[in-house]
Amino acid sequence: MADAAATTKLAEIILKRIRTRGDITFASFMESALYEPDLGYYTSPGRKVGAEGDFYTSMNVHSAFGRLITREIGRFFELLGSPASFTVAEAGAGGGQLAQDILDAAAEDNPALYAALTYRLIEKEPSLKEAQAARLERHAEHLAWSTPEELAKGELVFTGCIISNELFDAMPVHLVEMTESGLREVFVSADGEGFREKLLAPSTAELENYLERFQARLMPGQRAEINLAAPAWIASAAKALERGFVLTVDYGYLAEELYTPQRRNGTLLCYYKHSTNEDPYRQVGEQDITTHINFSALIEAGNEAGLVSAWYGEQYRFLLGVGLIEELMRLEAQAKDEQESLKHRLAIKKLMLPEGGMGDTFKVLIQAKGVDKPQLLCMRKWGMGL
């Protein structure tokens, strides 16, 4: 790792910045690689997700994913007393696929929810708004947009829910390594060949405090990622909700599983055209860089900000609870032939199955504010009513 020569315009820019201003933390490097204006992975033109992109998410596998989330959103709506105004805010809405599936399902299956609904897309990349508006044109009267900064500054306040699908795994992380001399942070330097890593004293005491808080005892030589942005985001989400829910779908673990010695190199992965590698210094700005998230940090940050953890578990448990079997039966009944029916079954299987599927890699966390002991659909015994 860290021996790649500069191969992209963005790599050249970051290298020049380092040579001029000095070494930077890995978090700063990752921020630039993903979000540098016009050149970062998420801020440059081009399709990132799906068959033509670099990776799949659950929503790209089948529209049933969004329809099933809509069922739980409908439950949120009921538990909040079916208010006249109900906001679904999606953070990191991307191309608008999940928004489309949720809005379509609400319009078709839950008229009361749809009538009250404002779907607010919280998006960092301004150029996506036009594409989202075009895709969601039939729902135009229900749409609104905000920036992450407006959320962070507390400028949004509403009743409803805030949802995200693979938001936290793309947040910049600090990279640390335990050495015989104690904890060190990975900094990114530059030489004539390109990027180089250096292990230096941590840039902030928060990093050691974080590991202590979650009782993460790293072994000598073990690396780990620390996401300091995620707890702050959860706090902002809690502040935005007068009453309601935060629904997070992402891949990760609770702290005790995330920071085990077996993960000697941490969880950092890069995605480029549906292949993975562990070298973030290749194709800078053209490949995704992700890490597994610490759900314990989201839960703790939520508790401190007035959110109560209502449910946490694997994606397959969530989907079964909210009605995946009923949805599959509906799809098969509507299929025009066996080939279409098989297509539905294979997609649902990918959403459900562990070991190569998405069923246990992805987790779902639901946090509540102002709702006492909510009885959610995902809490049902599979195939049973509440």
pLDDT in tens, 139-174: 999 999 999 999 999 999 999 999 999 999 999 999
pLDDT in the model for residue 304? 98
How confident is residue 382, by pLDDT bands cut at 50, 70 and 90?
A: low
Number of Cβ within a 10 Å radius of residue 2: 15
Query: Average pLDDT in the 280-294 region?
Result: 95
Query: Is the model more confident about 273 or about 161?
Result: 161
183 neighbors 217 (Cβ within 8 angstroms): no
Q: Is 149 helix (H, G, I), strand (E, B) or coil?
A: helix
pLDDT in the model for residue 324? 82
User: How far apart are alpha carbons 28 and 272 in whole angstroms?
Assistant: 21
Sheet of strand 269-272, all strands in order from the earlier edge strand to the far edge: 275-277, 269-272, 288-290
Query: Average pLDDT in the 92-107 region?
Result: 94
Res. 96: pLDDT tops 70: yes
pLDDT in the model for residue 355? 55
pLDDT in the model for residue 384? 45
- Most confident listed range (47-51, 96-100, 330-334): 96-100
pLDDT in the model for residue 177? 98
- pTM exceeds cut of 0.85: yes
E strands, 135-193, in order: 143-146, 158-165, 174-179, 182-191
Mean pLDDT estimate for the chain: 89
Q: Is 147 helix (H, G, I), strand (E, B) or coil?
A: coil
Q: pLDDT tens, 321-373? A: 998 877 776 766 676 777 766 676 676 666 666 555 554 689 999 999 999 99
pLDDT in the model for residue 4? 47
- Which pair of structure tokens corresponds to residue 142? 């229900």
Query: Average pLDDT in the 182-200 region?
Result: 95
Which H or E element spans position 303? helix 295-304
Which H or E element spans position 90? strand 86-91
pLDDT in the model for residue 60? 53
Query: Average pLDDT in the 21-30 region?
Result: 98
CA nearest 292: which of 169, 171, 174, 164? Answer: 169
